[in-house]
Structure 1
Amino acid sequence: MTAFDPTIALIEAADGNQRAWDLLVSRYSGLVWATARSFRLGEADAADVFQGTWFRLVEKLHQIRNGDGLGAWLATTARHEAIDLLRRRGRETPAELDEHLIGVRSTAGLPEESVLREEEDRLLWQAVQRLPERCSRLLRALGADPVPSYAELAAALGMPIGSIGPTRARCLETLRGLLAS
């Protein structure tokens, strides 16, 4: 099995190789989603950012020949797409929508453990929303699967790479304090 090489995948995708394109999307979709969701976008808006980011790559596919920086390029592009979307919406805050959806539960009968887990998750995300914007965005991005690299996070969040670890530690400490109170 050969290792994934983003440069080769880019060249082959530009030449019309669908498998190469699928590999690119598979490899980087978590990063693009994490970047979009770090802006507290709802599912539909995050999907718009996701789609817009991949569309931008299609537009630039013949121009990008070095895949080493592709993750950072995609994260930066997703970040710009999210900012543009928020500007077009007139600075409407998706967190307000989240507040309305927190109490919505499925009507299906759930086992007790599942209900308790949902309550814990709800309390956790409420606490994350109370964090400063920078912390909230960072922790949401770190919650992606797979977790983006520090270079990808730096590009997506507009942070120096060296500040991600210390900022993460401070944010988690603040979050622990919120959860304890």
Structure 2
Amino acid sequence: MIPVAELRAELVPFVAVLARGCGVDAEDLEQSVWLGAVERARVGGLPARPGAWLRGLAVRTALAARERAVETPVPVVTQRHLGPAEQLARTELHRAVRRALAALPGRCPALLAALAQSPELSYRQLSERLGVPRGSLGPTRSRCLGCLRALLAARSADWAAD
């Protein structure tokens, strides 16, 4: 049997340093690493040196999270008067996003609204505001955004078919 408490005691400080260096949340990173370990154990078992494998998984996961977090610069749009067609398209887009947000399951609408309204909140503050465990915020946010993308993509496909 693998000594999970010993592995965690070794992994947590490593993940904290790694997360700080990559600019990601340490708790989200740790949770992702353990999820990867559970998936690996279920499929083919853990390797002979699970500690080294977990550290490698932590590094790969942190780097992937950092790449996802890098924002693409948004071009500066000069203010100009929108024509009727552009106003209609913008209004329809806003309406579609609001409908998709309302159609999301569970806590997704509240979580995404809180993130949009107060992006400066830390996960601790967001957890207290929403009454959800802090460690579930990152994975829940990812799932919610995935659902939102799927709903908007389906809506976009409907528009294209019209």
TM-score over 0.5 for the pair? no
Larger radius of gyration: 2
User: TM (normalized to structure 2)?
Assistant: 0.41
User: TM (normalized to structure 1)?
Assistant: 0.37
State the structure with bigger RCO (CA 8 A, min sep 6), 1 or 2: 1
